[in-house]
Chain A
Amino acid sequence: MDFLDIVSSILLLAGVFFGFSGAVGLFRFPDFFTRIHAASVTDSIAAILIIGALLLQTSFDLNTAKLVFILLFLMVTSPTASHALAKSARHGGLLTLAETRPQDKQGSAK
């Protein structure tokens, strides 16, 4: 096995791990803001790692350039999308877990 192949499979596995953890977080986290935090892990680090792994599998030709463009595009757009989502939720009046918790305690009179 080539050195590049080993590095590429390590990157791929790491990318799969982060993608999976993002998916688990999306289901397990309690409110919108923590969930979007988990989802943006999939968007950013997992995508970067997987495309990085694919970059090492190319023979450094036109496909490499295309993958680099996809990587740059993702690095610009996915944080923006997460930001826009979070900001819209904030404008729409959604509160974080920390802000809602004291009211819960008063409501349930613990």
Chain B
Amino acid sequence: MSFILDYYNYWVVVFLMMAGFYIVISANNLVKKIVGLNIFQTSVFMLYISMGKVSGGTAPIVVEGVTQYSNPLPHVLILTAIVVGVATTAVGLALIVRIKRAYGTVEENEFDNKDDVI
């Protein structure tokens, strides 16, 4: 039982990661691929934050009488990664908008032979 309690967090994170991965490689629509990429990304964030957690600790903000804090370092890394993540997502979506303008579709299987037209 303690074995499961020690690891369930990582397992769910792996499941979410694989769900995002599956969407990225199997989805036909490019916007859905971006959603899958974001799910993958968020699960990686969750892995980092899980590693920073200390049982019985509190949020890393100094309070009188508290000695046990969770690790602030993963929080810093992930905080900036989230903002950078949305910025890169925006670049990806902008590329999709341009693809729609150039090819008239964002479905992967409809791109075939479109290169000759452009």
Q: Do chains A and B touch in the complex (CB under 8 A)?
A: no
